A and B are shown apart, each in its own frame.
Chain A
Amino acid sequence: MDHLAYDIEDFLCDVSFQRYCLGNDDADVVYWSRWIAAHPEKRPQLEKAKKLYFELNGDITDQHFSADYAAFKEAFSKRQVGYIEEEDSHEPAKVKLWSKIIVAASIVFAIGAGLWFYQTALHKGGEATIAFSTNDIKPGKNIAIMTLGNGQAINLSEAKRGVVIDAAKLSYSDGSSLEHLSEGNTINNLEKIMISTPRGGQYQVELPDGTKVWLNAASSISFPASFSGLSRRMVELSGEAYFEVTKTKIKHIPFVVTSNGQEVEVLGTHFNINAYADEGSVKTTLLEGLVRVSKKVVIHPGEQAQFANGQISTSKVDVGEVMSWKEGYFQFNNADIKAIMRQISRWYDVDVRYEGLTPELAFSGEIQKDLSIARVLKILNKSGVHFRIAGREVIVMP
């Protein structure tokens, strides 16, 4: 049947549509939710039909149904547990009043205890739901690859937090040395060094001028082995990184980060750049000092510049949310599911696929980044989004 040609009365007379309105059939709810997402121009008609449906059915709305159904399910599951417990605690009851009271009390206790165990078991079971239990994926870790000018690639140790690049000397941030150079090979001052994290990796880098960089997952930064003698400290970034730029001592040498066609120029400041290709715009957020974006716009602490298609706009942002990745958690303020899944995809090295309608979500909250993916999805699941894990793919369902 062609639902596009539907008028209000056609919607109303459609049994499947009626069940969608009331919400008492999941298949119909999914079907019509998807349909309206695909044909938003029909939404006004559909809403009118829904309103009229509730008026005609005696004002039993989807809210009534879901509240009554939830209460019914709860009453039923309690009854099921209580029933089993009562059978177990079956004892030959004496006629005397006291023994009756004791029996009654023990039944109440047994039911209570049973319920408690049941709820606890449910809760524990909930953490590794059927769909996730066999397919859990661990969170990302400290891994990165350093590529030298000659093309040599070095896997940076997982046990170390960061790497320090200081011209001829390469070491980990705890001072231990990095065995890297092939025989007889030395690092040239102008040699370009690139450090990149895969999906599911993060790393800290100390640049030759002492500037500290925190690289988020699926990101890379390239810079010369030494800044000495250069009039600008040029760094190229893809993905996301947080910078704590050191001031140069004798004269001001600007520090410049280029990413996706945007150029950020600073002296000594703390800022974050999010330049993931799939995020739509390059977002530069300032925590301290001053930065100039693409030679035009100056932003102040707490402000963010959004750069897209050569256009820059600025706005006040929640710095805590922007920086949460570095502090070890995801923080979302009214984030939609796609924005959330992009972060999850990068941190857990998974691909994300949407099955059916993309769920509408405005999620707010914090989730630790050291949780396994199943636990993170479980938290999101409470907002009504459903997930399935297949290998390294997460399927999002309404």
Chain B
Amino acid sequence: MKDGADLIWLKFKEGDEEAFLELYRMHYLGLINYGIKLTGDREIANECLTNMLMQLWDIRLKLPEVTNVRAYLITCLKRVAFSHFKSVQTRRIKEGKAVDLMEEGLSQADYFDAIQNNSILRSALLKAMEVLTEREKELIKLKFFDDLDYDEIAEKCGITKRTAYNITHDAIKKLRENLKEKNGEDYYSLLCIVIFLTLYLK
């Protein structure tokens, strides 16, 4: 996987348009989520991501042969987001929304903030997450929000790939078991929707 990513990077540097699109597809989720976390806005994050990749395309011949493409792209995205915010920073500071762009990576606490703000994450799921250990929460975040491979997670956390997989697997199992106990809520909300629709359609 990593070798493949290196190869794609080289092809992209040679001006291979398909390799460039492949970079987009491979890193989309991790980058857009990172951008959302930085900017607090999906649209702006997407704009920054597009601008960042277009700029890289223009200077592709001057780019280094990077070994960790993801980390490189994340850094680039941070720069683009930063320059985007520089122009609107004054306003943002006034609104108290300025983001510390120098912050390295995201903690799982940030993750919960981020997914709570930006996603449809059910409160039931958030509650269920409370039963997870810190390590489990972190791996869930690395796997799903940052979209890292098990290889990358293993490296980052100093564990084996197998362990990374097992912890993630068990964490999800725990989450689901916790959700099941509150299954009744699903029926309740369904009932609410049905009642609402009946009233609304009349």
Contacts and interface: CB of A to CB of B under 8 A. Distances in A.
Interface of A: 7-10, 12-13, 15, 18, 22, 24-25, 52-60, 64-65, 68-69, 71-73, 75-76, 79-80
A117 B133 CA distance: 59
A379 B96 CA distance: 53
B18 to A, nearest CB: 11
B121 A59 contact: yes
A71 B47 CA distance: 10
Contact of A8 (B17, B119, B145, B176): B176
Nearest to A49: B172
Given A57-B144, A58-B33, 17 more contacts: A8-B176, A9-B169, A24-B25, A54-B120, A55-B119, A55-B120, A55-B121, A55-B125, A57-B33, A57-B147, A59-B120, A59-B121, A69-B24, A71-B50, A72-B50, A72-B53, A76-B17
A138 B83 CA distance: 58
A53 B115 CA distance: 12
A53 B120 CA distance: 12
Nearest to A23: B25
B118 A59 contact: yes
Interface string B118-144: 111110010000000000000010011
Contacts of B143: 13
Nearest to A75: B50
8 contacts: A7-B173, A8-B176, A52-B172, A58-B118, A58-B119, A59-B118, A60-B29, A79-B54
A12 B119 CA distance: 18
Given A9-B172, A9-B173, A9-B176, A58 B28 contact: no
Interface of B: 17, 20-21, 24-26, 28-29, 32-33, 36, 42, 46, 49-50, 53-54, 57, 114-115, 118-122, 125, 140, 143-145, 147, 149-150, 165, 168-169, 172-173, 176
A229 B117 CA distance: 87
Given A76-B54, A80-B17, A58 B46 contact: no
Contact of B25 (A15, A56, A69): A69
Contacts of B125: 52, 55
Contact of A73 (B21, B115, B121, B144): B21
B144 to A, nearest CB: 4
Name the 3 nearest CB pairs between A and B, nearest first. Answer: A59-B119, A56-B144, A9-B172
Q: Which of B46, B54, B119 has the most CB of A within 10 A?
A: B119
A64 B28 CA distance: 10
